[in-house]
Amino acid sequence: MSQSSSREALIAAAYDRHANMLYRVAMSHLGNSEDAQDAVQDAFARYISAAPTFSDEEQERAWLIRVTVNRSLDLLRQKKVRSYVPLEEAGEIAAETQEEDGLHSLLQTLAHIPEKHRSAIVLHHLEGFPVEKTAQMLGISVSAVKMRLSRGREALKELLQEGKRHVH
């Protein structure tokens, strides 16, 4: 097997292992399927161009998550600058939103809490990473992760209670 075909096999294997999880992470930040797919695609493009080497699969996953989160934040910043929806598309967007499942509505609720809390909640609660690993991936201390989780859960609780009050 040539060096390029073995590299392609490594990239394909990494994609198979991590793409779904990275998509969920990107969706939690972006709330939009197309943008989430773009963020994951960009993360893998960076993986291909940077050709990083990792000591294990955990280190690879942490790197890909960090790149995906950073790309998601970049896309959010760009969206703030160009947040325009043509009137013709507004009806389509509303119809698509009504069709989304429970995960999407949770991700939409998560979109209303601060990004730093959202990242900690997604990695720890939705992706199942331990607090220590979440801290490592976010580049912060374990106590900072615990504080962000606590504040994020409190913010989610308030948002969910608000939603119940508006429904009744």
CATH number where 144 lies? 1.10.10.10
Query: Between helices 57-81 and 131-138, what is the axis angle to 10°?
Result: 60
Per-residue pLDDT of the chain (168 residues; tens, 9 = 90+): 566 678 888 889 999 999 999 999 898 888 888 999 999 999 999 998 888 888 888 889 889 998 998 898 888 888 765 545 454 454 454 445 444 445 566 777 777 888 888 888 888 888 888 999 888 888 899 999 999 999 988 888 888 777 766 555
CATH number at residue 62: 1.10.1740
Exposure string for 78-96, b = 16+ CB within 10 A, e = fewer: eeeeeeeeeeeeeeeeeee
What does the pLDDT read at residue 100? Answer: 47
Residues 85 and 125 in one domain: no
Residues 54 and 13 in one domain: yes
Residues 35 and 94 in one domain: yes
Establish if 107 belongs to a structural domain.
no
Establish if 106 belongs to a structural domain.
no
What does the pLDDT read at residue 99? Answer: 47
Establish if 105 belongs to a structural domain.
no
Residues 12 and 61 in one domain: yes
Question: Residue 125 to residues 57, 93, 131: CA-CA distances in angstroms?
Answer: 20, 28, 10
Q: Which domain holds residue 162?
A: 112-168
Residues 96 and 116 in one domain: no
CA 10 to chain centre: 23
What does the pLDDT read at residue 167? Answer: 52
Residues 125 and 91 in one domain: no
Establish if 117 belongs to a structural domain.
yes
CA distance linking residue 73 with residue 78, whole number of Å: 9
Residues 77 and 128 in one domain: no
What does the pLDDT read at residue 22? Answer: 93
pTM for this one?
0.60
Residues 26 and 93 in one domain: yes
Four-residue CA torsion sign, 122, 126, 131, 134 = negative
- What total of structural domains would you count in the chain? 2
